């Protein structure tokens, strides 16, 4: 049986879409594990991610002794999943991992639906995934049943937040396998300060343009503030499936002069383009953008949803009710009208991130989870 701290492990990470926080988490984890001498590989969908994913995977590939592998995996369930799953299993047989670590719902199915070698542990990190769908919906009910069917085929559940763990146990059940919470973490250089750009707007959004991320709510909040005589400006840094809809919303509300789109940029560059970061998510587990911004000392307000309160700790005054543009507008106005208090909170939050949300702590926590799972087997 492999011993985590005694010899290199063969670790294979699997994900569907190589985008967003899940992908960032996998890259950081893989880099940290490679630094410790483990033999690491990544399987990711070949249909999404575009040039950014290609570049990121090309950069990390020389460090991964088990390599980078792409398989066509669609987001929604479909008959072609069978072919993708067969290709996935073929890679697993070739690479002979000690640890098969699935990230997100689709990869979580793939790693647990197959027959793994007796000495292989199967690890699952949902990253929200199927947990975002209410049980009252047809899709949510289907995903919950699938999760329940696979629950006992999992040696280790690694949740990135207590919120995700509690949601899983409430909606799916209590697993027989080990359950651990390990916070996402950021690297040392992300604690360097970010210099605000000369053309910075009052408010800033950095992230994907997806319904669950709530950028449309932020646009509505800015419209409210401006209607009330507060000439707030906004920069939207990101892209995604709702790009066209968001741009149409800006035009419909007559906010073309107040809101600008700068496309997808690196997070730290994006942080320089506004005085106050707003995280308007309708749902989230442990969003990296919040941890990254807090590490850099960026003033911020965020929706009181998912694992975000676990990041903010005692700073609950910076959180607003989710899916509520009016509450968001009030939080933005309060933060902008009290810049000294907002900046002081940002400094305090930076210290909290330094203590509890480092990449080193994340890698060590995951390694401990692996070790305990092997011992449990």
Entry pTM: 0.82
The tens place of each residue's pLDDT in the chain, 377 residues long, gives 454 556 899 999 999 989 888 999 999 999 999 999 999 999 999 999 999 999 999 999 999 999 999 999 988 888 888 999 999 999 999 999 999 999 998 999 999 987 666 789 999 999 876 666 677 777 778 888 889 999 989 999 999 999 999 989 998 999 888 999 999 999 999 999 999 999 999 999 999 999 999 999 999 999 999 999 999 999 999 999 999 999 999 999 999 999 999 999 999 999 999 999 999 999 888 899 999 999 999 999 999 999 999 999 999 999 999 999 999 999 999 999 999 999 999 999 999 999 899 999 999 999 999 999 999 97
What is the C-alpha to C-alpha distance for residues 169 and 151, in angstroms, rounded to an integer? 11
CA-only gyration radius of the chain, Å: 21
Superfamily of domain 10-185+358-376: Glycogen Phosphorylase B; (3.40.50.2000)
**189-356 CATH, one of 1.10.486.10, 3.40.50.2000, 1.10.569.10, 3.30.360.10:** 3.40.50.2000
- Would you call 198 exposed, middle or buried from its count of C-beta atoms within 10 A (0-12, 13-18, 19+)? exposed
For residue 135, what are the contacts with CB-CB under 8 A and spacing of at least 6?
141, 144, 171
The values of phi and psi at residue 301, to 5°, are -130, 155
Cβ proximity of 35 and 26 under 8 Å: no
Identify the helix (H) or strand (E) that includes residue 300.
Answer: strand 300-303
Chain-centroid distance of CA 195 in Å reads 25
Cβ proximity of 328 and 303 under 8 Å: yes
CA distance to 220, 226, 227, per residue, from 254 (Å): 11, 11, 11
Q: Select from 7, 124, 142, 14 the least CA-distant residue to 66.
A: 14
The values of phi and psi at residue 300, to 5°, are -155, 145
Tokens matching residue 133: 């769908």
Domain layout of the chain by residue ranges: 10-185+358-376, 189-356
The values of phi and psi at residue 260, to 5°, are -125, 150
H-assigned helices in the chain:
20-35, 50-60, 81-95, 105-113, 138-150, 162-171, 215-227, 243-252, 267-271, 288-295, 308-312, 325-337, 339-356, 359-376
């Amino acid at each position: 049986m492999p011993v985590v701290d005694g010899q290199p492990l063969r670790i294979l990470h699997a994900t569907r879409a190589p985008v967003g926080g899940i992908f960032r988490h996998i890259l950081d984890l893989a880099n940290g594990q490679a630094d410790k001498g483990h033999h690491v590989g990544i399987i990711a969908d070949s249909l999404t991610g575009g040039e950014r994913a290609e570049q990121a995977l090309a950069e990390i590939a020389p460090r991964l002794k088990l390599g980078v592998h792409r398989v066509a995996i669609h987001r929604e369930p479909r008959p072609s999943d069978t072919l993708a799953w067969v290709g996935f299993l073929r890679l697993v047989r070739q690479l002979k991992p000690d640890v098969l670590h699935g990230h997100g719902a689709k990869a979580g199915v793939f790693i647990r639906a197959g027959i793994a070698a007796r000495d292989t542990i199967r690890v699952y990190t949902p990253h929200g995934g199927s947990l975002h769908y209410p049980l009252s919906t047809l899709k949510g009910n289907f995903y919950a049943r699938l999760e329940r069917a696979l629950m006992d085929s999992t040696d280790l559940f690694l949740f990135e937040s207590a919120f995700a763990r509690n949601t899983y146990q409430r909606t799916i059940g209590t697993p027989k396998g080990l359950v651990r919470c390990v916070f996402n973490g950021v690297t040392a250089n992300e604690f360097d300060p970010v210099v605000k750009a000369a053309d910075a707007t009052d408010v800033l959004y950095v992230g994907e343009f997806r319904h669950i991320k709530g950028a449309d709510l932020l646009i509505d909040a800015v419209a409210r503030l401006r209607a009330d005589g507060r000439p707030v400006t906004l920069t939207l840094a990101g892209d995604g499936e709702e790009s066209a809809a968001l741009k149409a919303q800006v035009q419909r509300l007559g906010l073309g002069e107040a809101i600008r789109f700068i496309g997808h940029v690196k997070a730290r560059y994006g942080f320089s383009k506004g005085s106050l970061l707003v995280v308007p998510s309708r749902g989230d587990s442990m969003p990296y953008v919040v941890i990254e911004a807090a590490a850099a000392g960026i003033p911020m307000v965020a929706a009181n949803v998912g694992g975000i309160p676990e990041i903010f700790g005692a700073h609950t005054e910076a959180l607003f009710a989710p899916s509520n543009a009016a509450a968001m507008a009030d939080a933005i106005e309060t933060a902008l009208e009290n810049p000294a208090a907002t900046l002081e909170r940002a400094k305090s939050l930076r210290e909290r991130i330094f203590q509890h949300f480092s990449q080193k702590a994340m890698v060590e926590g995951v390694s401990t989870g692996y070790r305990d799972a092997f011992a449990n087997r």
